[in-house]
Amino acid sequence: MLLSAGGTAALAQESEAQEVVGSYLPGEGECTGNVKAKKDGSVTGFKEDGDACTVPIDIPETGFFDLVFTVKAQGGYKENYVWADGQQAGTLVAQTGKEEDAAVRRVYLEKGAHEITVSKYWGYIDWLRLTVLVSEPFDESIFDVSSRLADPEATENARRLFSYLCDEYGKSILSGQYCDTGANGWENMKIAETNGGKYPAILGLDLGYYSQTGVDHGASVSTTEQAIAYWEKGGIVTLCWHWLAPEKYVSGTWYSAFRPEECDMDLTAIMNGEDEEGLALLKKDIGNIAVQLQAMQEAGVPILWRPLHEASGGWFWWGAEGPDTYKKLYVLLYDMLTNEYGLHNLIWVWNGQNKDWYPGDEYVDIIGMDIYAGEHVYTSQIDQFLLNHSCSPGNKMVVLSENGTMIDPDLAVRDRAMWGFFCTWSGEFVLNDGVRKTYSERYTDAQMLTKVYNSDVVITRDELPDLLTYPIKDGG
């Protein structure tokens, strides 16, 4: 479960130009669990699962609204869930430990009575006030993105693919599915079988076991072959890398050594030059990955490349020591793969999950957000879409680089949350535990899956153009 892209700076100034629909004291609402009202009308006590406060509001006319929460975090950065009439609407981010405003934007509400709930995720906030504002008109210019890649020497196939993605951005959403066993893996087979035969436009794969620690332990992996095969079938490939720490630093299970609790490594010391051996070991791993990416480049395969993902969550070693150290590693990886190893088939998808972790437009082509919204939560995640768009000082394409539950394409169109693509994670999000030949409806029911894959705005593999001949835009 993943952190939101960070920041709601200057909300007070932004809200001055917006129409105020109503202002509410949460203490006058309904408190659940440990949450208690204080004399000033605020509430506190978000400590355990089930702790929540629900505030009734009234909407005079149907439309889009910004929910602005005046809050104070107890002890620094905190996140908690926001619900509108029982549907998850976004994440309330309190950053400073001081009184501040945090917004969930463009919540669609029909005329009449509604209930807004804040429930515990991290907890430990005081909620002082809720202000409901009419949302500003949606700015369609955010879909006007440049097709020029960060790598000026990008291959023709990479440029053709990116030109296509830019042409479709704001109009369509490409479908995607992670499946380590490729086109014919259970996840993809069940997706196609359940929705009437359509395969995802994008196949998601992982390079984790190509890390030297995986090689040393005899890990069996065919990611490179699967990537080439999917491209040859007319599909698109995205790759992440659950980078296993070098064996020297592994303190737990080797196959989980992408987690900081499974390794003992001072990444800051490595990136500052204090641990020269550690840097050499990381560079060796980068070389291992370069070999695989080179094989794909030679086969003509452009890659939606998403390394060092979900950094700000802290649950991977590359993000466990803060944004400065992370950005040094990201830039090193970019420089080595692009300039030292001559890999120009990569479209760089940054997935840091927080604006403070953004390395700069010169290293990024696409901004990715990973969202696991919960079972049967089909909302468009428009607030997260807008937050991620704000990570770049310019315009960058925003994609749903991982999801658990799929989003309802009708809601995406309504809200204008037109993610460039989605890519559903594997395992339990598609398949039943212990019965791998059956589709699991735990997160996305079969009816919604069919709706998604047969939507006019969702592109499947059979609907992709010939990406070997697709025209390259002038910006590319």
For the annotated catalytic residues, the residue numbers are 310, 402
Residue with tokens 């499946």: 179
How far the first Cα of the chain sits from its last, in Å, is 35
Q: Which stretches within 11-139 are classed as H helix?
A: 11-15
Cβ atoms of residues 298 and 291 within 8 Å: no
Q: How many Å apart are CA 388 and CA 385, to the nearest integer? A: 5
Phi, psi of 378 (to 5 degrees): -100, 15
Query: Which tokens in the block code for residue 145?
Result: 């993105």
DSSP per position, 243-269: -PPPGGGB-S-GGGTTSGGGB---HHH
Sorted by sequence, the CB contacts under 8 Å of residue 246 that are 6+ apart come out as: 212, 213, 265, 278, 281, 282, 284, 285
Q: DSSP secondary-structure letter at 181?
A: T
DSSP per position, 215-246: HHTT----HHHHHHHHHHTT-EEEEE---PPP
Query: Which tokens in the block code for residue 113?
Result: 């009575």
Sorted by sequence, the CB contacts under 8 Å of residue 158 that are 6+ apart come out as: 149, 151, 302, 303, 344, 345, 346, 347
Q: What is the helix (H) or strand (E) element at residue 104, kind and residue range? A: strand 100-109
423-428: list long-range contacts, CB under 8 Å, 24+ apart.
423/176, 423/177, 423/178, 423/200, 423/202, 423/204, 423/238, 423/399, 424/176, 424/177, 424/178, 425/178, 425/204, 425/372, 426/177, 426/178, 426/179, 426/180, 426/185, 426/187, 426/204, 427/187
Sorted by sequence, the CB contacts under 8 Å of residue 429 that are 6+ apart come out as: 404, 405, 440, 442, 443, 444
Q: How many Å apart are CA 333 and CA 283, to the nearest integer? A: 8
Beta-ladder partners of 160? none
